[in-house]
Structure 1
Amino acid sequence: MKTSTILKWITGGLEALLGIPFLGGLLILSLAWTPLYILLALHIITLIFSIRENQNKHGSILGIITSCIGWIPFVGMVMHIITAVFLLIDAHKSEQIKA
């Protein structure tokens, strides 16, 4: 399995966690927005690996945007859910292509 695929599964799962109503917001607020900074870094790293491995980059780019606007209530929640869906579908498709 390629590194970018593994990173997409990880970032997609974290985005899904932050997209859970109230729980995601509670995590972000209680940790002083640190999860957004960590996910921003992970999305940038995933984007770099996706470019190197010639994989789909859309989920990582959307994740970078989401990390930048994720502090806005409700908008952030919806963006986290959308980004999680994009990343998880992309990771699944990457595995199917290899098989």
Structure 2
Amino acid sequence: MKSSTALKWVTGGLEAFLAIPILGGSIVIGFGYAPLGIMLILHIVTLLFSIREGQKFHGSVWGIVTSCLAWIFLLGWLLHTITAILLFIDAFSSGKNEREFVS
């Protein structure tokens, strides 16, 4: 499994966790919005690995946007949800392409 694929699964899972109503928002606010900064860094790292490995990077770009705008009530939930879905799709399709080359 490529590094970018693993990072997409991890960041997608974290985004999905932050998209849980009330719980995700409580964690973000409770830690002084630090989780958004951490996610921004993770999405940038994932983007760089994806570009370097020639993989799709749409989810990572959405993640960067999400990290910058998620402090806005309800918009944050929507963006976390969309980003998680896109990252999971990117990770799944990247892993699928890797399996096709191995066969």
* TM-score, length-scaled by structure 2: 0.95
User: What amino acid does structure 1 have at the position aligned with 2:33?
Assistant: W
Q: State the shift of 1:93 in Å.
A: 0.7
Q: Tell me, in whole angstroms, the C-alpha distance in 2 between the residues paired with 1:56 and 1:92.
A: 11
* TM-score, length-scaled by structure 1: 0.99
Q: Tell me, in whole angstroms, the C-alpha distance in 2 between the residues paired with 1:92 and 1:57.
A: 13
Q: Tell me, in whole angstroms, the C-alpha distance in 2 between the residues paired with 1:57 and 1:96.
A: 15
List aligned pairs for 1:44-55, cutoff 5 A: 44-55=44-55
Unaligned runs of 5+ in 2: none
Unaligned runs of 5+ in 1: none
Q: Tell me, in whole angstroms, the C-alpha distance in 1 between the residues paired with 2:20 and 2:89.
A: 18
List aligned pairs for 1:4-83, cutoff 5 A: 4-83=4-83
Which is higher, the Rg of structure 1 or of structure 2? 2
Q: Tell me, in whole angstroms, the C-alpha distance in 2 between the residues paired with 1:36 and 1:58.
A: 18
Tell me the matched-pair count.
99
User: What amino acid does structure 2 have at the position aligned with 1:53?
Assistant: E
Q: Tell me, in whole angstroms, the C-alpha distance in 1 between the residues paired with 2:11 and 2:49.
A: 13
The DSSP-based 3-state class of the residue aligned with 1:83 is: helix
Q: For residues 29-84 of structure 1, what are the alpha-carbon distances to aligned partners after superposition, in whole Å with 9 as ceiling and x for unaligned?
A: 00000100000000000000000000001000000000000101100001000000
